[in-house]
Structure 1
Amino acid sequence: MTTGSKLVLASTSRYRRELLSRLRLPFEVLAPNVDETPLPGETPSATALRLSVLKAQAAAETHRDALIIGSDQVLMLGAEQLGKPGDYERAFAQLKKMQNRAMVFHTALTLLNSRTGSRQTRDVPTVVHVRPLTDAQIDAYLKKEEPYDCAGSAKSEALGIALMERMESADPTALIGLPLMALTEMLAHEGVDVLTWPAT
């Protein structure tokens, strides 16, 4: 980051804030106002990528000299898109449907330099295979975890890992919502080495 520039996370997700804090870089958080409705005929990957770009662009309107991070995640179970359940009943229904099946999380990342207009984007997919689950196990998990603000109702960074048989991904942080390996590479292209920042 050049002198005077900022790192901005265009997201309201506490999970993304927690992930970004792992890199130990100073950053600001901005809530982007973006319509997240998929477009007709749009693939899940295209939806996630488009929304990550829109979130970064929304933040750029008020941050003209910043590196802006936009991210979005779309969860697919077969041909069905699953969102955040919001309550116990919907979460139970999601997990009941997901058990003994594989689902795909498309986690898109955009890094936008609002000063130069340079933009990097990437989709980091994660395939998660869910174990066979009994109703009692689903009920116990939901009462312990209450993952109602999490797409698919399963938090891999907490007890939700017990629901999963295996996962396939190039970056384990992608599943939580922000692919830090990809972000580290993107930041390096903008001259930010997270290991040596701040420069001495």
Structure 2
Amino acid sequence: ELPFAVQAPDTDETRQPDEPATTLTARLAEMKARAVAQRETAALVIGSDQVAELDGEVIGKPGDHLRAAAQLRRAAGRAVTFYTGLCLLDSASGQCQVVVEPFRVVFRTLTAAMIEAYLRRERPYQCAGSFKSEGLGIALFERLEGDDPTSLVGLPLIRLTRMLESAGVAVL
């Protein structure tokens, strides 16, 4: 068992002008890890962030019902790529590993009634792409394409275990 504590970083998540999705998510994951590492003297700190991209446009967290409905209407019947940035930072040595894990979601054709029913039940207003794949959001998908399905919930565990092992942590 690996002991851990969850700490919320205080970071500005504003996208830089014309910043690509992969650069944004890597930058934010590292910023979050570095913010927490300032409070920890000898710890491995994990930072992560996720952004969605549709037709080259970054789709953020909707924040409210109307924006979430608009995001899902736009995604219906189409593919959205999710990029999850992951940073493992050793606060003692300063050694830092940063990766971006892509995952593609092909949405089903969605009716307005399906979208409204989903949003009323799950309220995914703080989730990139307006869904929670760990809940009913899975019902919105036609198929999933990628190496690590846990990246959809914001923490690619397959990649994280490899990073921890390379930092000297025996996961098994």
The TM-score bracket by the shorter chain reads over 0.9
1:129 pairs with 2:106: yes
- How many residue pairs were aligned? 172
* Corresponding residue for residue 55 of structure 1: 32
* Corresponding residue for residue 147 of structure 2: 170
- Give the fraction of aligned pairs with identical amino acids, expressed as a percent: 53
Letter in 1 for 2:36: A
How far does residue 151 in structure 1 lie from its aligned partner after superposition?
Answer: 1.4
* Corresponding residue for residue 17 of structure 2: 40
The secondary structure found in structure 1 opposite 2:70 is helix
Match of 2:127 among 138, 147, 150: 150
1:69 pairs with 2:46: yes
Unaligned runs of 5+ in 1: 1-23, 196-200
How far does residue 29 in structure 1 lie from its aligned partner after superposition?
Answer: 1.7
1:88 pairs with 2:88: no
Unaligned runs of 5+ in 2: none
Match of 2:93 among 113, 116, 120: 116
CA RMSD of aligned residues (A): 1.2
Q: TM-score, normalised by structure 1?
A: 0.82
The secondary structure found in structure 1 opposite 2:6 is strand
> C-alpha distance in 2, partners of 1:60/1:141?
37
> C-alpha distance in 2, partners of 1:127/1:137?
21
How far does residue 100 in structure 1 lie from its aligned partner after superposition?
Answer: 0.8
Deviating runs (4+, > 2 A) in structure 1? none
Letter in 2 for 1:170: D
